[in-house]
Structure formats: C-alpha cells, structure tokens
Amino acid sequence: MTETIDKAPPRLADRARAVLGKRNLVLIGLMGAGKSAVGRLTAQALGVPFVDSDHEIERVSRMTIPELFAAYGEPEFRALEARVIKRLLKTGPRVLSTGGGAFINETSRKYIRRGGLTVWLKADLDVLWERVTKRDNRPLLKTENPRQTLENLMNARYPIYAEADLTVISRDVRKEVMVDEVLSAIAASGSEK
C-alpha cells in the first residue's frame, strides 16, 4: 500500500514551506515517536527530500545501529552521529529524521539548532511502548526491564527535547493526520513572528 498525502490542503503545505524557507526541518523525539514515518510524508507534502540520520549512519559505516553500539559503544556512535548530522544539515531544505539520542548529544544539538527548525514528536509511554515492541532493533532497550528503560529515557530526555522550536503530540492516529499537525505547527510559527 502506497501512502499518499492527498489529504493535506495544498495551502497548508505551501504556507509551511514558505515559513521553512531554505531551512531544514529536523524531527526529534524518542524511538517510536514516528519521526521516520511522519518525516517521510512531511517531506513529500513539502516537496523536499527526506533523510533519516540513522539510515545514513548505517550507509556510511556499512554497519547497523545495533552493530555500531556493540562494536564501539554509545560514545563513539554519538560522535559518528554528530558528524553525519552536521554533513546532512549543510544543504537544504530537507526533512531530517534523527535518532532518539541525537538531540541529547550537545554537539549534535548545536548542529541541529544551527541547521534547521526543530519539531519534537512527543508521545506518551504507552504509545512508544506499543510501537517499539514491534521491532527488535533498539540497542538501548536490550535490558532486563525494557519498558522501565524506556520510561527512564523519557524522564531524562523530555526536558531536553522540550527545547525544540515546536512540539507536536504523537499519538495513534493516521500518519496523514500527524503530517497535517506538523505542517500546521510550522505554518503557525511563521505567523507568530
């Protein structure tokens, strides 16, 4: 099934695109928040390229994220992630979906803030848990109590994610609804200036 974004009023996408200008749109949030799925459709609606930083890291390293964590540990992974994000944000506009820890890393956060408009896809624990249990590729959840680990990550990261330019609540609705809400938040941010 091919997902389309026919539901978004063209004027909304056009207004959001005008507010974005040459800036990148950077989606941040915890694993399972919908950054990749919503990001891909948002890019389509805006008529700009979509890039997932985790996929780009895997492409350049020729290793999966879990393999990178296992081989080099989180600090080395975060350093690689920062370099990749810095490179990806040099050109735009585009929609960039980042890994859950990217905005937490001070270096990556500096590049992200300088390189684009940030949207935090904020989800509650139940929504995230339902989504992350569908895939077994989350290295930070390889713990004795992964749900508690996810909650601990929320508690530690949400205050930092709250520094994003915009926040959109991610919940169990159709992706097209989420895209409309992201576009509306962007468009509204332009009228506040």
Chain centre to alpha carbon of residue 90: 17
Q: Is 26's pLDDT higher than 70? A: yes
Model-wide pTM > 0.75? yes
Residue 60 structure tokens: 């350049």
CATH 3.40.50.300 correct for 20-182? yes
- Compute the average pLDDT of residues 180-190: 94
Q: Which residue has the higher pLDDT, 113 or 191?
A: 113
Sequence spans of domains, the chain: 20-182
- Compute the average pLDDT of residues 102-112: 95
- The CA-based diameter of the chain, rounded to the nearest angstrom, is 49
**Beta bridge partners of residue 26, listed in sequence order:** 96, 118
54 with 65: CB under 8 angstroms?
Answer: yes
Dist CA 64 CA 78 (whole Å): 14
171 with 122: CB under 8 angstroms?
Answer: no
- Compute the average pLDDT of residues 23-38: 95
